[in-house]
């Protein structure tokens, strides 16, 4: 059966969330929840365009790279990327964003939903410098709601268990994927050049 209404959905998953679960959703950070952002080196940023097309993009840096400007405002530094700029273009069209913060080895995550704008304010971006390079751009997020997310997904997936890790060699390389798409001829050369650029940390900051 295709579910098309919330009533049909509730019939399958059960009733409303408990008062305890609802109580964790708030509009600003506090001394305890700030720690999830201060210790996080990685997040996923969700955006969407005006027509509803969605995008999720990873962001990572030394832990605590997202600046907490105050308990209701964050600044995410924008590092050099592939120039496609899906997230940034979406924010220009639709400011609603979602952020999911991860901490290595920790099964709880922290969620932030809010409204974003792009900024080039150097007074805000200067403290985000890494390896002597200040980002040209930042994502300024006004928090509308934030809350911890339970650990069930990580427990079920055994995500952080080292014995469940696989080696990179078990998956196709970036060059092999591009060759399959007919974008390049020599996958091995592409992978060697890419590895060399990463070793030099070229265009990281």
Average pLDDT over residues 160-169: 96
> Is pTM beyond 0.85 here?
yes
> Domains in the chain, start-ordered, CATH in brackets?
17-151 (2.30.110.10), 166-199 (no CATH)
Average pLDDT over residues 16-28: 91
Longest Cα separation, the chain: 58
Q: Is the pLDDT of residue 56 over 90?
A: yes
User: Which pLDDT does position 31 carry in this prediction?
Assistant: 97
Q: Is the pLDDT of residue 17 over 90?
A: no
User: Which pLDDT does position 183 carry in this prediction?
Assistant: 84
User: Which pLDDT does position 85 carry in this prediction?
Assistant: 95
Closest CA to 101 of 61, 29, 47, 43: 43
User: How does pLDDT run across 116-151, given as a tens digit for each residue?
Assistant: 999 999 999 999 999 999 999 999 999 999 999 999
> In which band, very low, low, confident or very high, does the pLDDT at 9 lie, cut at 50, 70 and 90?
very high
State how far the Cα of 198 lies from the Cα of 90, in Å rounded to an integer: 28
In our burial notation (b when 16+ CB lie closer than 10 A, e otherwise), range 46-58 reads: bbbeeeeeeeebe
Mean pLDDT (the chain, rounded):
96
Q: Is the pLDDT of residue 15 over 90?
A: no
Average pLDDT over residues 156-185: 95
């Amino acid at each position: 059966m295709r579910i098309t209404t919330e009533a049909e959905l509730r019939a399958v998953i059960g009733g409303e969330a408990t008062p305890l679960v609802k109580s964790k959703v708030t509009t600003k950070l506090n001394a305890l929840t700030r720690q999830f952002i201060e210790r996080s080196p990685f997040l996923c940023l969700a955006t969407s365009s005006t027509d509803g097309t969605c995008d999720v993009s990873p962001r990572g840096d030394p832990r605590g790279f997202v600046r907490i400007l105050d308990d209701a405002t964050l600044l995410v530094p924008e590092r050099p990327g592939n120039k496609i700029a899906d997230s940034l273009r979406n924010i220009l069209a639709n400011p609603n964003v979602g952020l999911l913060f991860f901490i290595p080895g920790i099964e709880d995550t922290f969620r932030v939903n809010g409204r974003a704008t792009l900024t080039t304010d150097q007074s805000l971006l200067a403290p985000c410098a890494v390896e002597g390079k200040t980002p040209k751009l930042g994502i300024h997020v006004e928090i509308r709601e934030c809350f911890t997310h339970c650990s069930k997904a990580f427990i079920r997936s055994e995500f952080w268990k080292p014995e469940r890790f696989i080696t990179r060699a078990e998956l196709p390389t970036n060059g092999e994927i591009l060759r399959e798409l007919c974008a390049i001829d020599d996958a091995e050369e592409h992978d060697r050049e890419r590895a060399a650029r990463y070793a030099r940390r070229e265009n990281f900051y």
